[in-house]
Structure 1
Amino acid sequence: MTANPRARRTQLLSTYGIGGLFPSETTSFMIAGLDEWRAESPLVSEPRLARSLGVLQLKSPPAGSKRDVPVIRFPEVQICTSCRRIGTIFDLSRDWNVAKCAQCEAKADLTPFRLIVTCRRGHIKDFPYYEWLHKGTPGAGVKHEMRLKALGRTSSLADLVLQCSCGVTPRSLDGATTLKALAPFGKCSGARPWLGPEYTQECAEIPQAVQRGASNVWFPAVRSAISIPPYSEAVAKFVKRHWKFFEDPEAVNARLLENLASEPGAKFTVAELASEIERQRGEDSGVEIDEEMLRRQEYEALLAGFEDDGKTSDFVCLKQELDPDLPSLVTEVRKVTRLREIRALFGFSRLDGVTDLSSDALCALSHTQKNWLPAIEVIGEGVFAAFDRAALAEWAERPFAQDRRTRLQNAANRRAEEFGRIEAPQVDIVKVALHTLAHVIIDQFSLDAGYPAASLRERLFVDENMAGILIYTASSDSAGSLGGVASQADPERFADAMREGLTRLSWCSADPVCIEATGSGVDALNLAACHACVLVPETSCELNNVFLDRALLFGTPVDNQESEGLFSDYPR
């Protein structure tokens, strides 16, 4: 069925995407798969990102009042707010489209059941309330009219009690969300309702009950890219948008190009159009692009810089002089006055965030292979800083850095073993240090530039050959490109931001507990990091606020290691 709840385009990738639950008034819906979407959405031009995800096109999610994004009602199990009867919406209202109880005089609203059932492979279904209460099969011929009584003492599951007219002993929902609580009721059903009732899978997982509104019900798998030259140029987007006219070489002639160049408001010459058509036609689509290659290309573009050529480029990156007060580790600073970020949704997971394209825990967006994925584009600005990779490599080999790396690696190994993963992520201690520094700068920019921290984002460029961080805004509202963040790249301002940020974050109100922590955060994947110092809003962090350690920047008083941090000698 379809409904008319409203959501912004960005929410259809980040909050209420395919397979996710969308609350609307007193009911709840699930966003249906791409097979049910209308595919006439505007194109989002970014060939690099599309190729890295194995599709031909990226398209903007529909928005407006045309009901272009279909939904299904989920969960199907409902509760009458008056008589407390439990059943499907049809059982209680006799109409799949009307969420009103027809079984009681009050004709009260129906609300979704509080619990749902899911597994680590992303399958999802209604909570087995009948089996939970009866713990077996009652005698034949007995009528079962079930109700959910709320004791009203607290809002906990222990205060929600299932009752049945068959006379079975009432049972609360207490303990239903524990790990093995549903094991007596069999294996996972393999249901994928966002694709349709017929698209089930074999699944040997033990399902787990979770709260319907819990944050682990849906984790988006999103890959992003910064549009860089030549893809960021207006002529490249124009040609890509009209590629169906240029794809056939025999159809492209001088007359066609002259007509396009002479139209009112035309921005490109015949030569520019011909050159771009030839470039796009000559691109080797057989070369695989992964996320590491995307980052390397962006890093090189940021280092190279790009002046505004007056042709409405989506990438303007200006080289800045280095203030003498900057730490010697900083080798380059760039003022990025304009950038365009594209984010594409290529899957989702449940219970545990998964972004690996090859993982069987990554849920498909459609039951048939599509040549496009939903994506959004946002315009922003920012500051890029590059660091001395050789100096960072030398520091990373010191005993202090290696000891911190070993602690984080052990935590990552335990997490992988607990969740049954084949291989744990390898901890790069340089990346952890620069990640922590990025959070310090986000926190300082939010004070200096007056931006909310949630409107700032980080982008890390770290491997054996590169070391850099980009702090930028990429927001669909007015906080996206006001110029306040890019202005922080001015030599004196950036030096002040580094000094003040490092000074403030060199201590924490939770010290000495924080700086001496041997494991904190989700699955102990942080060391010296807490909400009082370097943790930032989840939307700002690429790594979900894990792999952070403030001691890498400032050292730690444990065993007199205050001088071992990257910036221990930097005057604060």
Structure 2
Amino acid sequence: MSGKDIRINQLIAPFGPGSIYIDNYGTPLIVGGLDHWMERYDGSSWTECEEKNEFLIAEGRLSTLLEIPLFYTPPYYTYQDKQNNKLTIPVMRFPTWYTNRTGELKQFPLHRKFLPRGEFWKPVRFVAFCKNGHITDFPWKQWIGCLCESDTHLKINDFGGADLNSIRVSCTNCKKSETLRGATSRSSGDGLSPMQRAGISKCNGDRPWLGEYACKEDCNEELVGALISQTNLYYSKQVSSIFIPPVTSDPDVQNMQKILDENAQLLGIAKNLFAMEPDEACDMLRIKLKKIHSNVVYSDEVITKAFRNITSKNPELGLNFQPPNQSESSLLAYRRVEFNCLSAAVSSNQKELKVLSSKVPPKFANYLSKINLVNRLRETKVFLGFDRLEPNPQEPAIMAQDALKQLFKKRPDQAWLPAVKSYGEGVFIEVDNSEIERWITKYKNQLFERIDDSFVTRLAEHWIILEPLGELTKEWALKYLLIHTFSHILIKEFVYQCGYSTAALKERLYISSDSNSPMSGILIYTASGDSEGSLGGLVKLGHPLQFEKIISNAIHRSAWCSTDPVCSENLGAKGASLLNLSACQACSLLPETACEAMNNALDRTLLVGTPENREIGFFAEFLESEGQ
């Protein structure tokens, strides 16, 4: 990197391929695509690193979900004299337009490492992009209508005003001049955008993160101006997974599963063999196995069963779970496997996942059905490309295939995507489903007044909410808001005791109103991409005596917000997506790194009622018993 180190997990978000970051010298750079991530640059050419398998991550269940055979962690830079040393992530200068003290505009190549000595040039603050993910330099000449052949006469002057009307672009040759007023505006309805009125009809499909501007795509989307610091310039798409070790009663199958899980290279070979040569896969795998474990010989049946189990989206867990009545999205079904494992405290591979059952505190026995301590967990996050202007979620397998087109100039022989693996700890809490149903039934009229059909529709349509594929009901929406808000107030209380900051904790929601197999679980956990474990402080708080005090304090704190009565008033939906009711920074909102739903779908009233009507809150009886 150019003058600035970036942590490995930051190359998934927020500094993934196609993103802009500012180095220590104030130079904006765009992170390069994946073509050269596993290669070394000697100043003139690229050569592949000695051992790519050093960066290989084995995650069979996630690989099956995304239909991507391989995941590699971003390479790290080391000076040591060993294989894979001095690997770097390619970056390029972007935007390529710079200005000096007199306001003169000058363009430098993407690959230009240093600017001319003795001259002061600073990068411009503006680029242009479209919602198809393309990004390019701001079209200065087209914006002002300049038809001069040379670019040497352009100037930009900032008069220090509060808006873009104070920034003027001009050509000293043809005397054309315009301010940047409206440059960042989009078209609305049938009206043209300022860009379109200036004759800039569509995006030119530039993809500078893949190299020079010759790497273009056909694109008919409108071009929109932007500041390089705008948040909608880059939305990292990713999917995360908690490793679930499959369970089997056959010790040979169990051992074979362990071998595959601990050897990412062998698992990758197995995927290719079973996909291309299924009849000969077992024989060829045995040859590879002898090099690793010379005294181990397994039958075809054992090898096949172990491979199928470790790569299945629904691995064997040794328990019988009720299947849902309605069909579910691939991600919700994927989460259900995690929920079943965490709820049943299944942990056959305690090096990767260790779950211990705990007791529900007596005061909350009517509200919570289960509390499990996750002493050890492994989280894998895979980068699935990016969006610009607005998020555009799709099925995970579709996003993965689109990412290969977006991140590679030339599709690799073996498809792969970047991923990071991290370890941590957590607490799993399951709210009693029967109690939730009783509460909704008892206060149905009052609760239904808080949300209307349009709110439920917005909730289901939000790009990050895992909604049911069947009928959308207010019962499901109320359940989602209840559990999500409960998760937030617990996280806020945890940080006072566990030693982690709020931004270091995360939530994982398991919510379904399926009549046959409902889910109402929360996993609050921490996982650091740069360590092999955690502090242990989070799990310690899950023990009954301490957890009872934490829940009690969290509920009491949420009963009154410093911005009440304004916060608790139901004046219509709040928040950027109009999906919050009673929620604000003082009571329920968290850093967005901690919240799974980007601080949407929150309503504190569902937990504790309103100051005027406490009885409609889910924990109303607890508050009454505590004399509040």
Q: Tell me if both proteins adopt one fold, taking TM over 0.5 as the criterion.
A: yes
The RMSD of aligned alpha carbons is 3.5
Deviation per residue, 1:524-565 (Å, 9 max, x gap): 2211111111100110011111111111112235xx543112
Q: Is the 8 A contact 2:261 2:267 kept in 1?
A: no
Which is further off, 237-246 or 198-207? 237-246
| Equivalent residue number for residue 56 of structure 1 | 69
Shift of 1:347: 1.7
| Equivalent residue number for residue 119 of structure 2 | 107
Q: 1:476 aligns with which of 529, 538, 546?
A: 529
Distance 1:156 1:450 in 2: 43
Which is further off, 379-388 or 475-484? 475-484
Q: 1:88 aligns with which of 80, 85, 107?
A: 107
Distance 2:32 2:590 in 1: 32
| Equivalent residue number for residue 508 of structure 2 | 459
Q: 1:259 to 1:115 in 2, by over 3 A?
A: closer
Shift of 1:107: 1.2
| Equivalent residue number for residue 177 of structure 1 | 184
Shift of 1:460: 0.2
- Does residue 541 of structure 1 match 2:595? yes
SS of 2:18's partner is coil
Q: Is the 8 A contact 2:580 2:602 kept in 1?
A: yes
- Does residue 355 of structure 1 match 2:355? no
| Equivalent residue number for residue 326 of structure 2 | none
Distance 1:407 1:565 in 2: 21
| Equivalent residue number for residue 250 of structure 1 | 283
Distance 1:472 1:217 in 2: 29
Q: Is the 8 A contact 1:116 1:127 kept in 2?
A: yes
- Does residue 190 of structure 1 match 2:205? yes
Distance 1:453 1:479 in 2: 20
Q: Is the 8 A contact 1:415 1:523 kept in 2?
A: no
Q: TM-score, with normalisation over the residues of structure 2?
A: 0.78
| Equivalent residue number for residue 321 of structure 2 | none
Which is further off, 402-411 or 327-336? 402-411
Distance 1:142 1:20 in 2: 30
- Does residue 372 of structure 1 match 2:416? yes
Q: 1:413 to 1:432 in 2, by over 3 A?
A: closer
Shift of 1:83: 3.4
Deviation per residue, 1:504-525 (Å, 9 max, x gap): 0121111111111422211322
Shift of 1:84: 2.5
Q: Is the 8 A contact 1:228 1:301 kept in 2?
A: yes
Distance 1:249 1:194 in 2: 41
User: Quick one: which amino acid aligns to residue 123 of structure 1?
Assistant: H
Distance 1:47 1:285 in 2: 4
Distance 2:312 2:537 in 1: 41
Q: 1:258 to 1:205 in 2, by over 3 A?
A: closer
Distance 2:537 2:445 in 1: 40
| Equivalent residue number for residue 391 of structure 1 | 435
Gaps of 5+ in 2: 40-51, 79-85, 187-192, 248-253, 274-280, 315-328, 464-468
User: Quick one: which amino acid aligns to residue 10 of structure 1?
Assistant: N
Q: 1:143 to 1:552 in 2, by over 3 A?
A: closer
Q: 1:354 to 1:141 in 2, by over 3 A?
A: closer
Q: 2:220 aligns with which of 183, 204, 227?
A: 204
Q: Is the 8 A contact 1:331 1:386 kept in 2?
A: yes
Distance 1:472 1:26 in 2: 35
Q: 2:560 aligns with which of 503, 507, 512?
A: 507
Q: 2:169 aligns with which of 149, 162, 167?
A: 162
- Does residue 225 of structure 1 match 2:214? no
Distance 2:312 2:361 in 1: 44
Matches within 5 A, 1:71-86: 71-80=91-100, 82-86=101-105
Q: 1:22 to 1:141 in 2, by over 3 A?
A: closer
| Equivalent residue number for residue 134 of structure 2 | 123
Distance 1:409 1:362 in 2: 31
| Equivalent residue number for residue 149 of structure 1 | 157
Distance 2:87 2:154 in 1: 35
Q: How many residue pairs get matched?
A: 542
Shift of 1:479: 11
Q: Is the 8 A contact 1:341 1:474 kept in 2?
A: yes
Distance 1:504 1:222 in 2: 34
Q: 1:27 to 1:48 in 2, by over 3 A?
A: same
Q: 1:492 to 1:86 in 2, by over 3 A?
A: same
Which is further off, 157-166 or 466-475? 157-166
| Equivalent residue number for residue 33 of structure 1 | 33
Which is further off, 285-294 or 377-386? 285-294
| Equivalent residue number for residue 400 of structure 1 | 446
Distance 1:336 1:568 in 2: 29
| Equivalent residue number for residue 16 of structure 2 | 17
Q: 1:429 to 1:368 in 2, by over 3 A?
A: farther
Q: 1:274 to 1:261 in 2, by over 3 A?
A: farther
SS of 2:225's partner is strand
Q: Is the 8 A contact 1:239 1:273 kept in 2?
A: no
SS of 2:407's partner is coil
Distance 1:273 1:3 in 2: 52
Shift of 1:22: 2.3
Q: Is the 8 A contact 1:121 1:361 kept in 2?
A: no
Q: Is the 8 A contact 2:105 2:152 kept in 1?
A: no
Distance 2:268 2:458 in 1: 48
Gaps of 5+ in 1: 263-268, 418-422
User: Quick one: which amino acid aligns to residue 385 of structure 1?
Assistant: I
Deviation per residue, 1:421-449 (Å, 9 max, x gap): xx9x9673211211111110100000121
| Equivalent residue number for residue 280 of structure 1 | 306
| Equivalent residue number for residue 569 of structure 1 | 621
